[in-house]
Structure 1
Amino acid sequence: MKQDLDRLMEERGLDAALVGGAVHGNPAMYYMTNGAGLTGGFVLKKRGEEPVLLCWPMEREEAAASGLTVVNLGQYDLTSIVRELGDQLAATVELYRRVFADLGVSGRVGFYGLQDRGHAWVLLNALNAQLEGIEVHGDFDVTLIDAARATKDLAEAERIREVGRRTCAVVARTVEFLQSHRVKDEMLVQADGTPLTIGRVHEEINRFLAEQRLEDPEGFIFSIGRDAGIPHSKGRPDDVIALGQTIVFDIFPREAGGGYFFDMTRTFCLGYAPPEVEQAYQEVHECVERLIEAYEVGTEARHYQQMTCEFFESRGHPTIASDTKTEIGYVHTVGHGLGLAIHEEPRFADIPTNTDVLKPGHVFTCEPGLYYPDRGFGMRIEDVIWIDPDGTVHDLTEFPKGLVIEV
């Protein structure tokens, strides 16, 4: 949470942090500007002091709406600096020099936010070499802002819950759309008698998302049969919607304007499920229930990946615990943190460098699955979990987990 920033900065030995870049699609900047409707700018946070928002003159009103103290960069007249020095990089370094001097920034400064890698590399090296009294710092693993964002306050959790309600509404509308079609020759057909296709369903899902005022920047998954057995296959548009085949519907939209994400998956079979699919689905469903029952504050996150692998291996399925290269059985990690990015802390990978433990405020997914593309099926169930300030575990995904949809 933002209230942890000073502590996190002290742990990293940071005297100040500068977050920059666009706001939209830049979780660190969105977070630090409180979602202000800016094109871009900078947020400067000195340890022990409130953050300051630096913006260009055209966006001063939007900047003020952030609730932060605003510094108008127009006062530095960057255009005149460029004309004087004749070099864009040199002028940018000079701008930083003047801003840091005016705001009393010195010592170790962490830099955060999204920017072209080459541009950032050149600029940060120049700043480190040319700004006296400034040591440029960057994080390779979990950044300062990532660590703060990992735990959510009550307002953030409620925003995620609300996105979840609207996401569930999209899934419900999709099921109704499927059920509105008649069956012919073991497939769904449209009013003109042509088969209903994955592409046609995708069109409707996009419409349902728009009706719920949700953005879909990552692109949802709605795939059938063999494609359902490849975890991130989005589905081939020409595939027909056939009965008895697994359909994986993984949808992860966010609030309009670049806000908080939700992420849920349901697996369906229309009309009936073959026995081997039914058996595998029961095992995935049981795994979800065991995990949700087991989540507890203070437990290493990687423990739940170990638990999932042990569960599936005891039932005869290959997992990445025994074969890290396997493409059948259980092939991925059991979850990920969720917030302003679709993947954030905590991490659940069972690797020695993962020291994440579950904490109050964590929001994350629970998503075991089994995948057998050569046998024509795959499945996943995914719910979003929130641990409240008292350590109580809440499932934010209010949607049934039935496998068979009647048509």
Structure 2
Amino acid sequence: MLEDFDQFMEDAGIDAFVCEGNAFEVSDIVWLTGFRSTDSVTYFKNIHDKGIVATGFKTYDRVQKESFIKEFHDLTPIYKDLIREKKRAYENPDVIYEDILKTHFTGSIIGVPDHLPARVLVAIQQLGYDVKVVPKLLKKARATKSPSEIDIIKKAGKSTTSAIGRIVEMIKDSTIGTNNSLVVDGEPLTVGRVKLALEHYLLDQGAESAEDAIVAVGAKAFDWHYLGKPEDVLKAHVPIIIDVFPRLKYERYVADVTRTIVKGSVSEPVQKMFDAVYDALVSSIDSLSDGAKIDDVNMACFETLKRHGYDSSRLNIDAVDGMTHGLGHGIGLDVHEEPSMYRYEDYFTKGNVMAIEPGVYLKGVGGVRIENDYAVSSSGAERLTVDLEDIIHV
């Protein structure tokens, strides 16, 4: 959380921190400033002091009204000087940062994220400042969410489950045509149609796709990140994996939800997969709480799948079927954040928000995956994606 940022700076051994970008390309800017704009701004903070936002012209007026930051640095005079000299601010970061740092910097070492543009990093160094790249600083700070952030992610989850629910209704209302193809309004129900409908439903909920959703039909879902081709036709009697990870358009936070849907009859192998994956989900969540070791939660999942007769890459590095991906990941302003489920020796902390996604995949059959989002608390894990059944058979 932002409240812990000074401690993270101290642990990183830096006296100040600089970040640059716009909210639509650099999610750290949203987290650090609350300012949502396509215009780039600079965030600067001395340790144990309040952060400032530096920008100019109309953006300076806007950021004062829209950012939760209360201290600002007006770059308008510098921008005007550069314009008079027929120079671009983008190509002269030394001039910009000399003005900012001479005015505000009081320490000796400046920390920067690993995504800071190289032109800015070089400019600060050429001005004579000691710079330390701290790639994990913001990742660690952002891993723990505030109650207000959790509420926003819950809102994103509601948008996501609502949109998937509309697709479930579309599949339920479809008819079964030639070769078990699903048909809606006289036309095959294709992955392209489903994804377009998802986009419309998400927009209705104030969200948009963070990346391309996964709609994988039948045996093709054995490749657990197969996106689905627009021309793929949804089929009856086989599992259909729909994995959606949209972003709220204004707040910029994401959710990540997966459901596996079967229309028609469920084969015995697929039913066994459903049973195993659901049990693995329950076991994982029962183990998830503040202070829980990450690998203990992993093992709760993989040992459950093993009892059901399924392999996993965690227990067998050479596994080719079963569960061949990780159990989940943190979410927030980005769809993949800390904590990572691959940090086996680390521990969960109250305020972590996790997408937990057990799945089983069999060649020639396809896959079954269930994914929900959870906020870690001292008493366990609060489910944030609640408005959709885990197992869907229509």
TM range (shorter): over 0.9
Match for residue 348 of structure 2 among 355, 358, 371: 358
Deviation for aligned residue 1:53: 0.6
Change (3 A) 1:81 1:385: same
Q: Does residue 335 of structure 2 align to residue 335 of structure 1?
A: no
Tell me by how many angstroms 1:306 deviates.
Answer: 2.9
State the one-letter code of the partner of 1:382: E
Cα 1:304/1:15, change in 2 over 3 Å? same
Partner in structure 1 of residue 130 of structure 2: 135
**Residues 113/254 of structure 1: CA separation in 2 closer, same or farther (3 Å cut):** farther
Distance (whole Å) between structure 1 residues aligned to residue 112 and residue 212 of structure 2 = 30
Counterpart CA distance in 2 for 1:161 and 1:14 is: 34
Structure 2 portions without partners, runs of 5+? none
| Alpha-carbon distance in structure 1 between the residues aligned to 2:223 and 2:328 | 17
Aligned twin of 2:184: 190
Structure 2-normalised TM-score? 0.92
Name 2:95's counterpart in structure 1: 94
Alpha-carbon offset, residue 279 of structure 1: 0.5
Query: Structure 1 residues 63 and 213 mapped into 2: Cα distance closer, same or farther (>3 Å)?
Result: same
Post-superposition offset of 1:87: 9.9
Distance 1:53 1:87, change over 3 A: closer
Match of 1:108 in 2: 109
2:232 is matched with 239
Aligned length: 390
| Matched position secondary structure for 2:188 | coil
Aligned-residue RMSD, C-alpha: 2.3
Change (3 A) 1:240 1:89: closer
Correspondence for 1:80: 82
Q: 1:217-237, CA deviations, whole angstroms, 9 ceiling, x for partnerless residues? A: 311111101222211111122
Instruction: State the partner residue of 1:397.
Output: 385
The farther-off stretch of 338-347 and 174-183 is 174-183
Asked whether the 8 Å contact 2:12–2:134 carries over to 1, the reply is: no
The residue type paired with residue 385 of structure 2 is: T
**1:258-277 matched pairs, under 5 angstroms:** 259-277=252-270
Q: 1:89 to 1:153 in 2, by over 3 A?
A: closer
1:304-343 to structure 2, matched below 5 A, reads 304-324=297-317, 326-343=319-336
Q: Is the 8 A contact 2:216 2:226 kept in 1?
A: yes
Mapped contact 1:21–1:113 kept (Cα < 8 A): no
Say which SS state the counterpart of residue 243 (structure 1) adopts. coil
Paired residue for 2:371, among 382, 391, 394? Answer: 382
SS of residue paired to 1:48: coil
Identity between Structure 1 and Structure 2 (%): 24
Aligned to 1:22: 22
Q: 1:94 to 1:188 in 2, by over 3 A?
A: closer
Deviation at 1:90, TM superposition (A): 8.5
Structure 1: how far apart are the matches of 2:153 and 2:104?
A: 35
Q: Which moved more, 1:304-313 or 1:147-156?
A: 304-313
Q: Residue 5 of structure 1 aligns to a residue in which SS?
A: helix
Contact 2:114–2:134 (8 Å) recurs in 1: no
Q: Deviations over 1:63-115 (max 9, x none)?
A: 1120321211112247539949x898984223312321111343111113745
CA contact (8 A) 2:19 2:29 kept: yes
Alpha-carbon distance in 2 for matches of 1:80, 1:89: 10
Shift of the alpha carbon at 1:62?
1.8
Any idea what SS the aligned residue of 1:375 has? coil
The Cα shift of 1:255 comes to 0.7
CA distance in 2 between counterparts of 1:159 and 1:61 reads 27
Contact 1:20 1:113 in 2 (8 A): no
C-alpha distance in structure 1 between counterparts of 2:286 and 2:201, whole Å: 33
The alpha-carbon deviation at position 384 of structure 1 amounts to 0.4
Q: Who is 2:36 aligned against?
A: 36
Q: Which moved more, 1:147-156 or 1:323-332?
A: 323-332
Q: Which stretch has the larger CA shift, 89-98 or 106-115? A: 89-98
Q: Distance in 2 between matches of 1:63 and 1:106?
A: 26
Distance 2:280 2:85 in 1: 64
**Which amino acid in 1 is paired with 2:182?**
L
Compute the TM-score of the two structures, normalised by the length of structure 1.
0.89
Greater mean deviation of Cα atoms: 249-258 or 324-333:
324-333
| Residue of structure 2 equivalent to 1:58 | 58
Cα 1:248/1:341, change in 2 over 3 Å: same
Equivalent residue in structure 2 for 1:124, among 121, 124, 146: 121
AA matched with 2:373: V
